[in-house]
Structure 1
């Protein structure tokens, strides 16, 4: 229902049984952030109407990891779904922290699982396998049924030296491949890129060198959920004799959850923004939210001189330890120009190795296919170009049946040949204030017309 033909809003369904008696498993329940083409709208969800109509047959929802595009829609859509939710402690604690910070958010019944666990839901025998990604406790899923096994990778990469958490368990994946895998549903994000994604350890060294050599303040902005990056910055700051100030509620929330689970053991205490004015310029490292140009995030407010406690000046350095997600270029560019006007030095991933992707490049994909050796491949997590290129890659790897599916496609994997056999209802919902309505709702379309055409009185 989401994530095929787009980046974001991941929501997959696996079904076993005849049409009238089919039982379902949902994997992920993600969100996307609205752009300028949807004025007044913050969030976009996949429309779960198809499975809501079948909710009595929805056995469970498994969250592969806690990135917004994989679990960000849970709080809003779970009341419609009602099924038990399975996730790791890090994901569960982040969900609970969000509930406590958002009045009216529902209490969702979570059943805790580990990155390496096995459990049964009706006809599904499910095994979770640790994979490396840019957030802790990410998992692939081996979904075994009477008709065969599906390996759903989730988001992953091969990183033998992750800063936080476990590396991708290639040995276990190969063992599953040896058992025989019917279908591989695999991340397509970086199928256009050759080689292997660099390790977080390499980013840590780059950040270390930058922080050690800086003269003024250093501000690092990154995705708040990247605990490895938070730890790397903290370690480099300690070596340089600097204290770390966290700026942004999301960063604070992730830090608290990570610390509770022991992921930040051995790290000096972080400081809050109200300590900023007490620290000399060469004794301070800032960790800020807002790497994607979000107007209300910490970095944008600092760049515009609107933050009540934190300021930057000529001679300071801002490191964008992130990549700009397509669609966010305008917001990021505005911040960069404001910082440049101040005389702040700006470092991005074009200048130094300050960010690495959490998704597999071609050589990593090649290893996954060699481990799993599936009969069928279904490229996932990508726009149309990514899915098309991944289809050709899978064919080159010797996979006999490759299905390029898009949102709403009902794919039959077994028995018989793999094929798209139907289209189920699918679409988009948007969050407009406290209301969740179809993206095609008259209020949204009229607002779009007004934003582009204006109003004459």
Structure 2
């Protein structure tokens, strides 16, 4: 818990608790005269530093302590890194939520999973409309992204106006949903914008991110060259524009689209309830896949990042209940490789290739465009909004620094590098970071939320990389070891390579015990510590490892 006591009763402040200094897990806060507004509350996905963990959420304890001053959560769009943690963390806040119709549909599914659907007040705001909350007036502005109804937020306060961009791009032909409303963006910016808090993901990419319609044209041409065999396409389930693209292309090539993966069903149902995808032929269920001729089917699958439990990985392993691929079939990965997933994903590519399946990725063909702005689009947005201050978010340190440099080159007066936990005073006076508050990452585990750097996951990592040793030492009432200690190893080293290991462990434990004082031999804790250290010395010498070691002492009276 934080013991930092800040006086934020006057002025306008910005505080990210997730999504700055990293890509994903967005949680941003504004404070105006002591009242807080949360923008987005998302998740991130774990890597091999958190074994057995799939999902990570921001540590929001600092704002939870001040929840009586938290007016609301506004969710800009339905991607997991913006909405995925709301249901998990809302019990700490217990405040209203405001979002668009499509995002509300996705959120309702998540709330139902946590049995919160009847507790959370979800206010559905029409895209492009506005809402007032305390001293905040928020105009919602349509911007294109890879999911419908992404809403940038123009936040008007007594101290000035702030544009919170969310995730966006300037797609002139987005396939699903309206194009970016740049006319409204220019109009709401005319009165002057104090600061723009802006997406940094593609700051290193020159030019523009590309249009979804161009991907559709490319996939159309690509499928024309694949006349036979099954075709499987894997992409992010949340990319409704890409689902529309794939469905349109499949229809033109007389292929039925089969959805493979539960999240695809959830996303398409939510999209249809919100008025999207309704003019497309019906999607088929994976149970129907075996009844359709191979050259008349297109499998739309989850698992574009090689997730072990994703549909594509299970298909590649031959473990899927209803879907299989054969030599000559084709798999198209219509997504980018998220940094950190390379090893897993390339392993999946190779597994499919070894099975005789043709694999096509964005490195081979034009099958994907990003949902984030490249440098030309960022430049256009700065020229429209003309903020006095640039505050890059949604990027790692190098993205944020490069974004600051770009903003300054475009005439912005001040660009501020920020990371999670920084409290940035925006007004009145000169903007600058005034304090740091606790921030962090929590792993979602079976028992709830646990610190990513806490003892629980530290122990799990040690188990993964070093293994564990358990043992029993038998001691009589005089402190003498009367039987050979029992030692069991799990994942430490291959015992078949060390035939004398058990004898060595026994001898080391006994030798260490014999060096104890008489009083220590009568103390179970001292006997346990002696055996523990003896075992650890053996494995440090043999393998350079320090396994988790648990030794138990059984003391008995001899007859």
Same-fold call, TM cutoff 0.5:
yes
Deviation string, structure 1 residues 232-261 (Cα, Å, up to 9, x no partner):
111111111111100000001111111222
What is the match of residue 149 of structure 1?
161
What CA distance in whole angstroms lies between the structure 1 residues aligned with 2:111 and 2:26? 21
After TM superposition, list the pairs within 5 Å mapping 1:377-396 onto structure 2: 377-396=390-409
What CA distance in whole angstroms lies between the structure 2 residues aligned with 1:263 and 1:45? 29
Deviation string, structure 1 residues 352-376 (Cα, Å, up to 9, x no partner):
1110000000000000000011111
- Larger Rg over CA atoms: 2
Residue 211 of structure 1 and its aligned partner are, at CA, apart by: 2.1
State whether structure 2 residue 68 is matched by structure 1 residue 52.
Answer: no
Residue 335 of structure 1 and its aligned partner are, at CA, apart by: 1.3
Which portions of structure 1, spanning 4 or more consecutive aligned residues, are displaced by more than 3 angstroms? Answer: 103-107
What CA distance in whole angstroms lies between the structure 1 residues aligned with 2:36 and 2:445? 29
What is the match of residue 295 of structure 1?
308
What is the match of residue 259 of structure 2?
246
SS at match of 1:15: strand
SS at match of 1:179: coil
Higher relative contact order (CA 8 A, sep 6+): 1
How high is the TM-score relative to the length of structure 1?
0.97
Residue 176 of structure 1 and its aligned partner are, at CA, apart by: 2.2
192, 198, 221: which one aligns with 1:180: 192
What is the match of residue 246 of structure 2?
233
Conserved in 1, the CA contact under 8 Å of 2:39 and 2:73? yes
SS at match of 2:52: coil
Identify which range, 368-377 or 424-433, moves more after superposition: 424-433
Residue 184 of structure 1 and its aligned partner are, at CA, apart by: 0.6
CA RMSD of aligned residues (A): 1.1
How high is the TM-score relative to the length of structure 2?
0.80
What is the match of residue 337 of structure 2?
324
What is the match of residue 3 of structure 1?
19
Between the two proteins, the alignment pairs up a number of residues equal to 452
What CA distance in whole angstroms lies between the structure 2 residues aligned with 1:266 and 1:26? 36
What CA distance in whole angstroms lies between the structure 1 residues aligned with 2:415 and 2:130? 28
Gaps of 5+ in 2: 1-16, 470-487, 489-559
After TM superposition, list the pairs within 5 Å mapping 1:340-359 onto structure 2: 340-359=353-372
What is the match of residue 484 of structure 2?
none
Conserved in 1, the CA contact under 8 Å of 2:88 and 2:114? no
Conserved in 1, the CA contact under 8 Å of 2:87 and 2:110? no
Deviation string, structure 1 residues 149-172 (Cα, Å, up to 9, x no partner):
000000000001110001111111
What is the match of residue 221 of structure 2?
209
Residue 262 of structure 1 and its aligned partner are, at CA, apart by: 2.1
Residue 444 of structure 1 and its aligned partner are, at CA, apart by: 1.3
Identify which range, 196-205 or 170-179, moves more after superposition: 170-179
Conserved in 1, the CA contact under 8 Å of 2:47 and 2:340? yes
Conserved in 2, the CA contact under 8 Å of 1:41 and 1:433? no
What CA distance in whole angstroms lies between the structure 2 residues aligned with 1:375 and 1:133? 25
What CA distance in whole angstroms lies between the structure 2 residues aligned with 1:29 and 1:366? 27
Gaps of 5+ in 1: none
Residue 231 of structure 1 and its aligned partner are, at CA, apart by: 1.1
What CA distance in whole angstroms lies between the structure 1 residues aligned with 2:47 and 2:160? 40
What CA distance in whole angstroms lies between the structure 2 residues aligned with 1:104 and 1:171? 41
Identify which range, 434-443 or 363-372, moves more after superposition: 434-443
What CA distance in whole angstroms lies between the structure 1 residues aligned with 2:195 and 2:357? 51
Conserved in 2, the CA contact under 8 Å of 1:75 and 1:106? no
What CA distance in whole angstroms lies between the structure 2 residues aligned with 1:260 and 1:30? 23
